[in-house]
Structure 1
Amino acid sequence: MPPVVPLLGTAVFAQGTSEFMVAGLVPDVASELSVSLPAAGLLTSAFAVGMAVGAPLVALLAMRWPRRTALAAFLVAFVLAHVVAAVTGSFAVLVGTRVVGALANAGFLAVALATVTDLVAPDAKGRALAVLLAGTTLACVAGVPGGAALGSLWGWRSAFWVVALLCLPALVAVLVAVPHARPAAIPPSARGELRVLRRPRLQVLLLLGALVNGATFCSFTYLAPVLTGVSRIGDEWVPAMLALFGAGAFLGVRLAGRWSDTRPGPVVAGGGVLLAAGWAGFALTGGAVAALVLVPVVGTLSFAVGSTLIARVLYAAADAPNLAGSFATASLNVGAAVGPWVGGVAIGVGAGLGAPLWVSAGLVVAALAIAVLAREPRAATSAPTSCP
């Protein structure tokens, strides 16, 4: 694996910390800025909307930029957005910084995905993706609980300052280690790459990714209040529980890196069934012991299935090398935007703090049903182009 791949993963770690850390800060943000819990939860949706809308747009903008220039520019914009977030007293401005930061994150991730898939063998996209996304899962393990702990000790603003500082070493590393030259092969036009989106199989994969990630973020965004209000776990244990979810997510990405190139079907089908059962089981039991067991389990399954679907998108859109990553990023973040919103609506109508867990189970069941209905009538193979 080229050394630049884990280097880009360190930048993804800082950005992933920002995307996920709101899950541990929602109660404090709501209290200080005098907004409701569902409204504060929309900070995650705002970030996801920026990622979903921004991924294709900024990827198109950066198609003709040298990769190093694009990555550095997106990191600088990301840092500035977090500095503003750390000092603002307006909830509206805070939401705006989440959108701007998400646009920068979307651009960085799309270019990073294109960079790593250019650097590895054609049949190793899943393994390279696992290394890159390890930064995201490590953000769940260390960054998100760390953000919650910082919020508890010095206020939620300190978490935004730390994220901005974490990006600075990554920026230096990108300027030093990423090649300045454009990729060796650039397609004739953006229009040609956009035509790839017409393929039914790719559309199904993107929809499955959106549903599975929507399920993940629906419950993860409200995991802190679920743990304290439903499982009766003390506030001081919430960072540790978020770390358990992140540890499971890291394991899930590693498992996807091992099997997503060769056995995607069993990972998506078997993992999806277990994931739906895990969310439903969490909702039915809800106690502290069940949470301790199921939080890492659903973290593992969510990221194993989700990462495998990302890898399948990259294979299905192999002839759109500059935009394939943006397709996957947009799909996952459509889910990450809609999931917390639906979870917040369920809480707002009086379904209780455990309602997001049921919504997550339902979204995964919907994904499984669509996968079955859309399955091509041919024998599954172990080739990289096999069904999802």
Structure 2
Amino acid sequence: MFPSSGDYCQVMTPRHIPGLVDLGLDARLARMVLEALGLEPSAELTDLVAGGLSALEVALTSGHDELFEDFLGFQTARLSALKVSHVDTRDVAHAIGRQVAAQGASPGAVEDLVDRCLARRAGDEDTHGVGPTPLCPLARAYLGRVLAVDREQARELVASALSDGTDLGDILVDVLEAAQREVGRLWELGEISVAQEHYCTAVTQMVMADLYPYLFTGRDRRRHLVAVHAPGSLHEVGLRMVVDLLEHEGWGTTYLGAASSVEDLLANVAEQHADIVAISASMPGQVSAVRSMIGHLRADPRSAHARIIVGGRPFLVAPALGKAVGADGTASDARSTVALCERLVGAHDAAH
């Protein structure tokens, strides 16, 4: 019998399976899984299986099955996109489980978790249970231009919408954020290449730079947010959109990226008298780093006052994980993140 997710998170203090580091960082283990399945250990398949090892490990140690269940949806889509049809996705999941067990996890616990996740996904072939991203007409037009490798026309569409009175926040959320979400889905399904995905992201970053002069509203910036990625996170656009939208809403912000040390983070929070710290993680294997960063922020007198929010894929699929790592809240997109920041600051003001 497994304890509930909340209880399991409270009593399972090791950040990883005892004696192990993040299994997803060890490509050798991923190649061993592929070889056992009779699959060529290409770079893409090695990365895929490494992600599965990491997701399963974190799901075991946190009690959040959703992390591995989410990976299974991703695995199904990517194996199909890579035209790996001669191996059953269930066999891949169990092979990942056997490798995790071989590294010190309880074989029974691993098998039970894998079976639970497979049972919940039975008959669900849709990617992560989500269909095409709903796009407004402007977002659809923008994405069409980007996919046609016409960056100047894509930029002109956004500039014209801004000139015509479209709210900058709506452009960030309903156009750029929505288009990026659809780009990720298309890549996952193999409908666009990784090179196309990178191009789309680069164009969106260029458009965000175009919008930068329009962010500042002249409002008194009494509130400040410091934003940082967990080490190893490669997806920066989402957090940058949060930062830009907060700037547009009258906040001061400091974006530190993924390369900052913990000491740099603490120093920036103290220097800026930050009200909120936002931490983003893109993969389950980064959850332990998020927990560690929050621990340092809570323990240091210079930063203990700040409220902490977390976001990114792991916290989207397992919302209760945010509380488990010590955060004050989680949000699913840029607009809801702004609302969360306002709510947390308002609650703090009311209490003082």
TM-score under structure 1 length normalisation: 0.24
Structure with the higher fraction of residues in strand conformation:
2
Structure with the higher fraction of residues in helix conformation:
1
Higher relative contact order (CA 8 A, sep 6+): 1
